[in-house]
Amino acid sequence: MNIDTAKPILLNAQSYCALGIVALVIVVDAYFVAQRQHRFEDPVIATVGSYLKAINARNFNDAYRYLSTADRQVRGEAGYVESQGAYSGFALESASKLASFMQVWPIEQSGRDELRRIKVGYRVPAPADLAGLLLNWDETRLNALPRDRQQQILAEIDVRRKDSKLLMIEGQEQFELSKDGKAWKIFLDWASGTTVKLKTQLPKSGELEVRLAQTEVIAKNDELFLVNLVQEPRFSHCNIYRRSLDKPPCDRKRSGIG
């Protein structure tokens, strides 16, 4: 009777190298899976992501919820919301839908236990790309649409997202966050800034009516601030906006300008 005796398996250097590479790949893959999971569980990232989505939707009532107690003591919610030019009605619903598709990820963090500084990257649908579908983001016209037409617009946005036909833009932002009890809040340090009231003064005979998207800003030393102007032709139904993240440009062909 022949009995097979188990023989030891001998591995050469190449075999050991191959096994080492496989083990390294498994470890690296597990690390990145953990990092992606950490991004969603990190309360600092969660606060920043929610705040950015609210700002991009021009839902400033919601954005105010994520501000630090110190900032909210300087500026009340009603004054803040009114000064920022918040959307309402279907315009807000549409902008909120787009903002819900926003992706936010951390780039770097620093700071101590009670105060953090964080730099994040983001990716969000470009509102200007949907100007044709959303009536050049004319809030009055959007809110006046019949509900069935509004639902058609929302459904079209879903279709474009499913078909990967939404134009996405990317950017970076930096924030400071402070610990408010157990929660992390956006710290804008309004107490150290100066409130600047904004207004426009134009000749009555001008062909354009110009208003400010916000009526006040809090400015700090050596820091620039952005002012958005909304221009409305007196003899046209088309709104002309400054090109920015949340105010799409007007279709010049429709308005007959230029």
For residues 198-225, give the mean pLDDT: 63
Q: Residue with structure tokens 């904004």?
A: 198
Where do the domains of the chain lie, and which CATH numbers do they carry?
16-190 (3.10.450)
* Residue from 257, 221, 210 nearest 236 by CA: 257
Position 83 scores a pLDDT of: 84
> Could you report the per-residue pLDDT of 21-38, keeping only the tens digit for each?
545 544 445 444 444 444
Strand partners, 120: 106, 173
Residue 147: in which H helix or E strand, if any?
A: helix 147-162
What pTM, to 2 d.p., does this model score?
A: 0.67
Task: Report the alpha-carbon angle 195-198-203, nearest 5.
Answer: 165
pLDDT tens per residue across span 141-199 = 999 999 999 999 999 999 999 999 999 999 999 999 999 999 999 999 998 866 666 66
Is beta strand 208-212 parallel, antiparallel or unpaired with respect to 183-186? unpaired
For the residues 129-136, what does the mean pLDDT come to? Answer: 96
8-state DSSP, 174: E
8 Å CB contact between 124 and 56: yes
217 CB neighbour count, 10 Å cutoff: 17
85: region left, alpha or beta (phi > 0 left; psi from -120 to 50 alpha): left
Confidence of residue 238 (pLDDT cuts 50, 70, 90): very low
Which of 54-63, 170-179, 217-226 shows the lowest mean pLDDT across its residues?
A: 217-226
Structure confidence at residue 220 (pLDDT): 60
Residue 68 burial by CB count (10 A; 0-12/13-18/19+): exposed, middle or buried?
Answer: buried
pLDDT band at 211 (very low <50, low <70, confident <90, very high): low
Between these two residues, 81 and 223, which has the higher pLDDT value?
A: 81
